[in-house]
Structure 1
Amino acid sequence: MTATAPKVAAVVLSYKPDAGIIGNIDELAKQAERVYVVNNSPDDSATADVLAPLTRRDSVVVLDQAGNVGVAAGFNSGMRQALADGFDYVWIFDQDSTVSDGMLTALLTAFEQPGAPVAIAGPALRAEETGHLYDGESSSGIRDQVALISSGALFAREALDEIGLHDERLFIDYVDHDISLRARRSGFRIVKVYDTVLDHRFGASVPSTFLGRRIYLSNYSPMRHYYMTRNRVIMVRRYGLGRWFWEDAAYAAKSWIKVVLCEKDRNRKIGAALRGAAEGLRFRQVATRVD
């Protein structure tokens, strides 16, 4: 008897996108059976114009939100709809990530690995602005990870049925860390498939020069620094100082060196981070499950 091919839906989170999102969605629709576009800027006229062509695509469904509900709630809206519509896997993306040919097939092979079941599989990451793989992304095969970024991550329904969806109280940053670490705590594996690559951009990345060396600045807003710091503290309180923390601390240290030495508005960003740290310490850790 021939095994039934798994049903896969994609979810693309959209907030005031440019026209490039249409090409990304068209490429994604070649691999996923359906694409749910979560519109987090429903009252923005420019967004309506950009997304208008999608209404003519049978395989694409636009899900307008009440406003900017955040990354966690936005992804959950699309994932919840995909699960309700009977899909076996949900594949989630930021609006500015570009899928490569054959990526879905490569990611699905990860779920056939022996041993503990895989909850989430993701691709290697390449910087869209440079065309180079990010640090630590040059490898091959399928390897276990502590956590994966959201964009490009393929989730198994089996795992989501057990661990639930994203923690919407986090709103944006460390949403991906939380669901990855929660899955691992429940006995699932998190893996990266290095033989397929996603072009991705972190923040409003722009080139700059420091000590004669070309660097790229994320230029996150003070509000993003608030959430990054608040949620980093929350993650430490939830999961302790494990491997995830030291990997993240190395990334955060490099980012803050760029903020302090190279970026504009550094005083506001530092102040926002300090407020975030204080709020993270006050954050009420209650056991919640989002389905």
Structure 2
Amino acid sequence: MRSLVVVLSFHGAEDTLACVDSVVRGSPAHDLLVIDNGSFDGVLEQVAARWPHVETLQTGTNLGFSGGMNAGVAAGLQDGYDVVTVLNNDTLVDHGALDEVVGVAAGGGVAVSPRVLYRDDPSRTWFEGGRLDPDDGLPRHMTPHEAAAAGARDEGDPYAVDLLAGCCVTASAATWRDVGPFDERYFLDFEDSDWSMRARSGGTALLVVPRARIRHGVSRSFTGAYAYLGTYYYLRNLLLFASTWLPARQRRRLLRTRVLPAPVRDGREHGLRAGLRTGRILTDVALARLRGSYGRASVRLERRAQRWSAG
């Protein structure tokens, strides 16, 4: 059985090299494909110099998480791999973790995530399953109590969840083909929740394997301009997800409690300027919805985010 791990890098060479090292050392049975999402920061050259057997791919432009990972999955399917894993570049993979998730996913009909710990504090769990909030439908991580009720135990068997986290998803080639790629309208954020919903609606079971552990840097890419762009993608994509998957009652509640109050909430927590900027972003989100503009944010918005991050 041939297993491929796809690692996507965007201006994160240091994290990417550490991630690749953890896979090469701890999971040598699995092949690696490292993709640079158009950052041209030398990461592929460094990977090739240190690990000549690791495959690399340059997208040439920033395709977002969804587009970049789709390129890797497509390459894996074309090359005849039996199982493909997408893995965030800011993760460290514990010894044997890939063996565990691949072993569960190889039979087909399921998609699998490991238990995800905080990279800076491995005593804390970041993800052990996702669900839709029963009140407003927000995709969120399960609480420890919810995870325990679902069957999460340190050395227990895999258990079913509603949503997987995109930082590490493993599925057979047949499952990837059945579910299809990540929806590139999302670009970044909520594409994993949308993929999970499509998988479940098509009969694919979503499982977490608690014995498999990885450590995640958690939003290490959302710095500088991407702190503002992250707000844009979060709000825009949350509305896209809601319009696709949630009933009208939950859509209205989500808009009223999560989206519209964002400028006031940021103003209270971070000051007036932050609140005004979030208000401007919310206007951009509304315009994007009216125009049906998805995928990567406009050049105008990216440049404004750069100006804001500079001061």
Q: Distance in 2 between matches of 1:258 and 1:35?
A: 42
Change (3 A) 1:277 1:110: farther
Alignment partner, residue 96 of structure 2: 102
- Partner residue of 2:34 out of 32, 37, 42: 37
What is the Cα deviation at residue 165 of structure 1?
A: 0.8
Report the CA distance between 1:200 and its aligned residue. 1.0
Return the offset for 1:281: 6.0
- Candidates 265, 273, 282, aligned match of 1:273: 282
1:54 aligned onto 2:47: yes
Give the structure with the larger helix fraction.
2
Label 1:103 to 1:218 Cα distance change in 2 as closer, same or farther (>3 A).
farther
Q: Of 239, 243, 246, which residue of structure 1 is paired with 2:245?
A: 239
- Structure 1: which 5+ runs fail to align? 1-5, 207-216, 286-291
Runs of 4+ in 1 over 6 A off after TM superposition: none
Aligned length, in residue pairs: 258
Q: Using a 3 Å threshold, how does the CA distance of structure 1 residues 205 and 75 change in structure 2: closer, same or farther? A: closer
* Contact kept? 2:232, 2:281, Cα under 8 Å: yes
CA–CA distance in structure 2, aligned partners of residues 100 and 277 of structure 1: 42
Alignment of 1:219-238 (within 5 A): 221-238=227-244
SS in 2 for 1:53: helix
Q: Percent identity?
A: 21
1:128 aligns with 2:119: yes
Deviation per CA, 1:198-232, whole angstroms, max 9, x where unpaired?
A: 211222499xxxxxxxxxx9996222111111111
Contact kept in structure 1, 2:47 and 2:54, CA below 8 Å = yes
Residue 85 (structure 1) aligned to one of 79, 82, 86: 79
Compute the RMSD of aligned alpha carbons: 3.4
In structure 2, what is the Cα distance between the partners aligned to 1:85 and 1:103?
Answer: 23
Q: 1:110 to 1:128 in 2, by over 3 A?
A: same
Question: Is the contact made by 1:229 and 1:277 (CA closer than 8 Å) also made in structure 2?
Answer: no
DSSP 3-state at the match of 1:19: helix
Alpha-carbon separation, structure 2, partners of 1:51 and 1:186: 36
| Aligned residue runs from structure 1 range 1-291, under 5 A | 6-29=1-24, 30-31=26-27, 32-43=29-40, 47-48=41-42, 50-56=43-49, 57-111=51-105, 117-118=109-110, 120-131=111-122, 132-134=124-126, 135-136=143-144, 139-140=152-153, 141-204=157-220, 221-241=227-247, 259-263=266-270, 265-277=274-286, 279-280=288-289, 283=292
**After the TM superposition, which of the residue ranges 146-155 and 269-278 deviates more from structure 2?**
269-278
Distance 1:177 1:28, change over 3 A: same
Q: How far apart are the structure 2 equivalents of 1:126 and 1:152?
A: 12
| Bigger Cα displacement from structure 2, 151-160 vs 263-272 | 263-272
Aligned letter for 1:72? S
Q: Which amino acid aligns with 1:233?
A: L
Q: Distance in 1 between matches of 2:38 and 2:293?
A: 29
Aligned partners of 1:133 and 1:227: how far apart in 2? 25
Moved more, 17-26 or 163-172: 17-26
- What secondary structure, in the 3-state scheme, does the structure 1 residue paired with 2:214 have? strand
The amino acid that maps onto 1:146 is D
One-letter amino acid matched to 2:161: Q
Q: Using structure 2 for the length normalisation, give the TM-score.
A: 0.72
Q: Matches of 1:272 and 1:22 in 2, distance apart?
A: 34
Query: Secondary structure, in 3 states, of the residue corresponding to 1:267?
Result: helix
Separation of aligned partners in 2, 1:41 and 1:284: 22
Indicate if the aligned counterparts of 1:203 and 1:218 stay in contact, CA closer than 8 A: no
SS at match of 1:223: helix
User: 1:123 and 1:179 mapped to 2: Cα distance?
Assistant: 17
